């Protein structure tokens, strides 16, 4: 099987006819200018060394080289390993409801994203089974015919979105009827129809369609996504919710009764999908009960790069273009077929072959490492990738694969370092976006949600169609909001405690201020120290007063004996 890894470069092939048209116009203009000099035959005889065909040959050689260069840039690959084997498994058709009601967010991150995640996990657990994919709303169509190519199934799954359906609604019956007609004609193989919906059937006839499928030997399983309480339906790109004709917000409710009726009529089981993994385990257990039979599948499991041959041809064409002159060279007449020119050409070709062969040694180690990685031998794969880096330290593919090998061994920090280096060296936006995606996965695993959001946003900038990255980004943003809310609640609690302490401190300060005001209002009592401190004049006055008082006392004491004694008798009344 032949394929192009980067087919978008093939659009550059439009340059080939554009350049041919420009060259044709230039040659036409040149012929018109020559006609002004005279008769063309006469002008030709005057320029015997001018060749008419050599310039055209040189131009077309360059055109072919440019076309091959564009094809080489698209990375042509050939499937080298075809697995034609008989497997024992079942056939499963998954019908996913993509009506607008599946945008409701009563399960994280939304009903549709949760459904896609479940299908992806289911595909990862498939080994020998075949799978098909149907999407439906008001109508139904096959997104992926039944196949054993799980990679294609995941690729088609990532692209489904409600905007794919022009007719909105929920026609479960149409999905069941289309699934019943999408199985192979092989008898004895267990056939399962898995309906993933929120149960809002707007068309009717689903129970009858499930019963008809059961008569054909098919089991109908219904996965009800959502909650019985219901949730509003967000409008994409806005912060608003869908409203009805009266302006009221539309609330989508899971209709479990209808889901159970469809599952019972189809001989399957009803499984409620919420935010845990119980529904996944229950569905896997129900599918294991179905009968299995040998299924023949042809699978290309390995691809080899084929750009080497294109590169060699391009180099040979460029050398040939240099050797071809625009005018006739009489010196070339002396060079025989096996002369120096031939030997020089062979020598140049040998050098180019050796250069190409030497350049492919690192790719051989990468291919060997890929085989070890696919076999689960991650340590051996790491060794091969490091050998490739020894040959070419700036090989972004080897660095990226080395990061995957380290990540598989639990060496997260070393893996992130390799992914960062690969993103810097990689020139392809698609492969560079994968490196940022893996960086986001590691950060998300470590609960570094802000770093994971940054990595996922960079990955989406390079590859906007990667729905898996978009889903992981939505999950990380929700987890980051929860984390910020928890931190905010913790900060609010700490702030409340600080405010309480501050209020108590303010109360103490107010009491102190009140005491100070009270002390200011009371009359100030002289301090003992103030009594002892007096001026020199006051001290002299007090001393003179004390001396004068002493003199008066002595004078009165001298006058008392000179008076006649008198005796006062105490009368007894």
Contact 426, 437 (CB under 8 A): no
* Per-residue confidence (pLDDT) for residue 66, from 0 to 100: 92
Task: Please determine, for residue 533, whether its predicted confidence score (pLDDT) is greater than 60.
Answer: no
Task: Please determine, for residue 344, whether its predicted confidence score (pLDDT) is greater than 70.
Answer: no
118 against 553, higher pLDDT: 118
User: Each residue of 544-566: pLDDT tens digit?
Assistant: 776 777 677 667 665 544 444 43
User: Each residue of 490-529: pLDDT tens digit?
Assistant: 767 766 676 666 677 666 666 666 666 655 555 444 444 4
Task: Please determine, for residue 200, whether its predicted confidence score (pLDDT) is greater than 50.
Answer: yes
Confidence of residue 90 (pLDDT cuts 50, 70, 90): confident
User: Each residue of 236-248: pLDDT tens digit?
Assistant: 878 888 888 888 8
70 against 36, higher pLDDT: 70
Contact 252, 200 (CB under 8 A): yes
* Per-residue confidence (pLDDT) for residue 193, from 0 to 100: 93
The CA distances from residue 75 to 78, 243, 456, in Å, are 10, 49, 26
Task: Please determine, for residue 202, whether its predicted confidence score (pLDDT) is greater than 80.
Answer: no
- Specify the DSSP class assigned to residue 482: H
* Per-residue confidence (pLDDT) for residue 350, from 0 to 100: 52
Contact 482, 499 (CB under 8 A): no
* Per-residue confidence (pLDDT) for residue 94, from 0 to 100: 92
Task: Please determine, for residue 333, whether its predicted confidence score (pLDDT) is greater than 60.
Answer: no
Confidence of residue 211 (pLDDT cuts 50, 70, 90): very high
Closest Cα to residue 157, out of 478, 479, 471?
471
Task: Please determine, for residue 357, whether its predicted confidence score (pLDDT) is greater than 70.
Answer: no
* Per-residue confidence (pLDDT) for residue 356, from 0 to 100: 47
Distance (Å, whole) CA 449 – CA 75: 35
Closest Cα to residue 232, out of 96, 112, 103, 108?
103
* Per-residue confidence (pLDDT) for residue 521, from 0 to 100: 56
* Total Cβ atoms within 10 A of residue 331: 6
Contact 201, 172 (CB under 8 A): yes
Lowest-pLDDT range of 124-138, 341-355, 557-571? 557-571
Q: How much is the average pLDDT of 105-113?
A: 86
End-to-end Cα separation, the chain, in angstroms: 158
Please give the structure tokens belonging to residue 1.
């099987």
User: Each residue of 428-454: pLDDT tens digit?
Assistant: 888 888 889 888 888 888 888 888 898
Confidence of residue 205 (pLDDT cuts 50, 70, 90): confident
Please tell me the pTM assigned to this model. 0.43
* Total Cβ atoms within 10 A of residue 88: 12
Task: Please determine, for residue 21, whether its predicted confidence score (pLDDT) is greater than 90.
Answer: yes
Task: Please determine, for residue 127, whether its predicted confidence score (pLDDT) is greater than 80.
Answer: no
Q: How much is the average pLDDT of 149-177?
A: 81
Task: Please determine, for residue 338, whether its predicted confidence score (pLDDT) is greater than 60.
Answer: no
Distance (Å, whole) CA 98 – CA 95: 9
User: Each residue of 248-281: pLDDT tens digit?
Assistant: 888 888 888 888 999 999 998 999 888 777 888 8
Contact 317, 61 (CB under 8 A): yes
- Ranked by mean pLDDT, the top range of 43-52, 215-224, 474-483 is 215-224
Q: Which secondary structure element, helix H or strand E, spans residue 86, and what is its range? A: strand 76-89
* Per-residue confidence (pLDDT) for residue 508, from 0 to 100: 66
Q: How much is the average pLDDT of 194-220?
A: 85
User: Percentage of the chain with pLDDT > 70?
Assistant: 73
Rounded to the nearest integer, the mean pLDDT of the chain is 77
């Amino acid at each position: 099987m032949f394929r192009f890894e980067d087919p978008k470069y093939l659009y550059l092939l439009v340059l080939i006819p554009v350049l041919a048209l420009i060259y044709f116009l230039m040659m036409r203009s040149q012929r018109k200018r020559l006609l002004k000099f005279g008769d063309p035959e006469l002008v030709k005889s005057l320029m015997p060394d001018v060749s008419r065909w050599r310039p055209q040959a040189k131009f077309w050689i360059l055109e072919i080289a440019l076309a091959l260069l564009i094809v080489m840039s698209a990375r042509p690959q050939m499937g080298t390993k075809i697995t034609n084997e008989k497997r024992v498994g079942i056939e499963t058709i998954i019908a996913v409801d993509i009506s607008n009601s599946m945008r409701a967010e009563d399960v994280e991150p939304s009903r549709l994203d949760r459904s896609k995640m479940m299908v992806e996990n289911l595909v990862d657990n498939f080994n020998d089974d075949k799978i098909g994919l149907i999407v439906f709303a008001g109508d139904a169509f096959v997104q992926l015919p039944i196949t054993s190519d799980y990679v294609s199934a995941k690729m088609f799954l990532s692209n489904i979105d409600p905007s794919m359906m022009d007719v909105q609604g929920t026609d479960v019956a149409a999905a069941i009827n289309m699934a019943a007609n999408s199985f192979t004609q092989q008898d004895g193989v267990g056939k399962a129809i898995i309906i993933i919906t929120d149960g809002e059937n707007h068309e009717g006839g689903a129970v009858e369609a499930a019963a008809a499928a059961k008569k054909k030997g098919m089991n109908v399983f219904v996965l009800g996504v959502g909650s019985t309480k219901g949730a509003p339906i967000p409008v994409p790109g806005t912060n608003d919710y869908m409203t009805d004709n009266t302006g009221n917000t539309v609330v989508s409710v899971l209709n479990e009764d209808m889901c159970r009726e469809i599952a019972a009529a189809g001989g399957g089981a009803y499984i409620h999908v919420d935010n845990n993994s119980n529904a996944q385990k229950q569905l896997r257990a129900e599918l294991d009960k179905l009968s299995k039979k040998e299924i023949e599948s042809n699978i290309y499991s390995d691809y080899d790069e084929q750009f080497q041959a294109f590169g060699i041809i391009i180099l040979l064409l460029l050398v040939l273009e240099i050797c071809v002159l625009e005018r006739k060279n009489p010196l070339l007449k002396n060079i025989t077929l096996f002369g120096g020119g031939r030997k020089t050409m062979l020598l140049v070709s040998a050098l180019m072959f050796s250069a190409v062969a030497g350049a492919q040694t690192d790719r051989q180690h990468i291919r060997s490492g890929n085989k070890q990685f696919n076999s689960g031998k991650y340590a051996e794969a790491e060794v091969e990738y490091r050998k490739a880096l020894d040959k070419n330290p700036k090989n972004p593919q080897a660095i990226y694969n080395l990061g995957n090998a380290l990540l598989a061994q639990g060496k997260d920090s070393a893996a992130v370092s390799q992914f960062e280096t690969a993103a810097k060296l990689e020139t392809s936006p698609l492969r560079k976006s994968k490196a940022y995606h893996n960086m986001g996965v590691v950060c998300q695993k470590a609960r570094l949600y802000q770093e994971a959001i940054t990595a996922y946003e960079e990955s989406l900038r390079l590859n906007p169609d990667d729905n898996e990255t978009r889903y992981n980004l939505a999950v990380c943003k929700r987890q980051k909001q929860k984390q910020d809310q928890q931190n905010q609640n913790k900060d609010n609690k700490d702030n409340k405690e600080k405010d309480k302490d501050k209020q108590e401190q303010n109360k103490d300060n107010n009491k102190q201020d009140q005491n100070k005001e009270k002390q200011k209002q009371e009359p100030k009592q002289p301090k003992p120290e103030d009594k002892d401190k007096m001026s020199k004049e006051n001290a002299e006055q007090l001393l003179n007063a004390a001396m004068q008082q002493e003199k008066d006392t002595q004078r009165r004491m001298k006058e008392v004996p000179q008076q006649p004694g008198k005796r006062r008798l105490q009368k007894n009344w």
